[in-house]
Amino acid sequence: MVIAELRQEHKDILAYWQRHAPDPTNGGFYGRVDYQNRPDPTADKGIVLNARILWTFSAALHHTQHDDYRAVADRAFDYIRTYFIDPQYGGVYWSVDYKGQPKQPLKQLYGQAFALYGLSEYARATGSAAALDLAKTQFQTMVKRAYDPVRGGFREAFARDWSTATDYILSKPANRETKTMNTHLHILEAFTCLYRVWPDASVATQMRGMIGSFLDHIVDPKTYRMNLFMDDDWRVRRTATSYGHDIEASWLLPEAADLLAERNPADKPLQKRVRDVAVRMARAASAGLEPDGGMNYEFEPETGHLNRERSWWVMAEAMVGYLNAYQLTREQQFLDKSLASWTFIKKYLLDTKNGEWFSGVTADHRVLGTEKISMWKCPYHNSRACLEMLDRLEQLR
């Protein structure tokens, strides 16, 4: 029953993006579409949205072998290659305008990571040598320009020419928030994706270093919640409890460690350590769950404020994270939490009239947001959750 529902939901998500996302006039994809599926033809186009579309349809092509997904993946690849890659300084722009001209050329590492993620999955799905070459170059540029060889990890953002940036997208440089949990999490998933198609020792080395940064600096060893904003020396500058990121990391960290151990037996002790931490993270994240099966967004300890929004991406990650915890422990409570997340999604987040998912609901289940497609509202969290759930549930049969 659940497998059939998730398989259909995956198809429905892809069908929505096939129908409503492509921009027939200016190429690529619309930067904004509202809840009534009306596009804003002049909205800026972000690398996060475009790279996530590339990943989504490449992953769908890889998993299903349905050729109709190839056209969207090709469209995303061509648009990123043509308009987002900086031919002068390397890396990708954060955003372009609706005609494809650079709008915000900031080299934000979060965006660099998603470009690498999408290019790597496209190379995996299609065997494209051009995409793999671009992925290798993107990886090498990120390491050369942003990696901290002394203290580990990656600095948050740079100007177009990789000089010091005066503004960041996700953190506050004035508060010395130069390394963030969020960016490191997505760099790790991008490196993991690249390692599947290019098992080079340099990628494995970076993956080990990233995992080490999480274990030593980002995951609090007392609470098993993650620190959010740090300086160059990993000193915490500002933090909160981000329930969605905690549960997401609880399965992305072992995904990376499992791949390393599969190819390098010497990494098995690391794999074991990561799995133990991942289960503890899933337990800690459960503090964000409510009786209706929803997961709260964030808690700020300094102010005592609890954000009870139930975000679409948080619920997608909760579904996968708790199923992963069940696979590692066989504790029924984790399976129950995973399935309760799917029940919540079906009941409150699916837009059965206009398609796709609402961006979130309030604690009393009133719909939040106005956009189905935006810089941040993309098909990656929910389509990926469907694929992960399908693969894992099939393994449990």
What confidence score (pLDDT) does residue 1 get?
A: 86
What confidence score (pLDDT) does residue 149 get?
A: 96
Give the domains, in start order, of the chain with CATH numbers. 2-396 (1.50.10.10)
| Mean pLDDT computed over 181-186 | 98
Closest by CA to 98, choosing from 19, 160, 24, 18, is 24
Taking CA 143 as the corner, what is the angle to CA 142 and CA 148, rounded to the nearest 5 degrees? Answer: 115
Q: Is the pLDDT of residue 71 over 90?
A: yes
Q: Is the pLDDT of residue 227 over 90?
A: yes
What confidence score (pLDDT) does residue 397 get?
A: 78
| Mean pLDDT computed over 112-121 | 98
- pLDDT tens digits for 343-394? 999 999 999 999 999 999 999 999 999 999 999 999 999 999 999 999 999 9
What confidence score (pLDDT) does residue 320 get?
A: 98
What confidence score (pLDDT) does residue 359 get?
A: 98
- pLDDT tens digits for 246-293? 999 999 999 999 999 999 999 999 999 999 999 999 999 999 999 999
% of the chain with per-residue pLDDT over 70: 100
Q: Is the pLDDT of residue 302 over 90?
A: no
End-to-end CA distance of the chain: 13
What confidence score (pLDDT) does residue 103 get?
A: 97
Report yes or no: 32 and 43 within 8 Å, Cβ to Cβ.
yes
Report yes or no: 188 and 142 within 8 Å, Cβ to Cβ.
no
Q: Kindly report the pTM of this predicted structure.
A: 0.97
DSSP class per residue in 298-315: EEETTTTEEE--EEHHHH
Closest by CA to 36, choosing from 354, 351, 348, 367, is 354
H-only helix segments in 308-379: 312-329, 332-344
Say how far apart CA 218 and CA 200 lie, in whole Å.
26
- pLDDT tens digits for 266-276? 999 999 999 99
- Give the torsion through C-alpha atoms of 60, 64, 70, 75, to 10 deg: -10
Report yes or no: 68 and 17 within 8 Å, Cβ to Cβ.
no
Report yes or no: 225 and 284 within 8 Å, Cβ to Cβ.
yes
| Mean pLDDT computed over 329-346 | 98
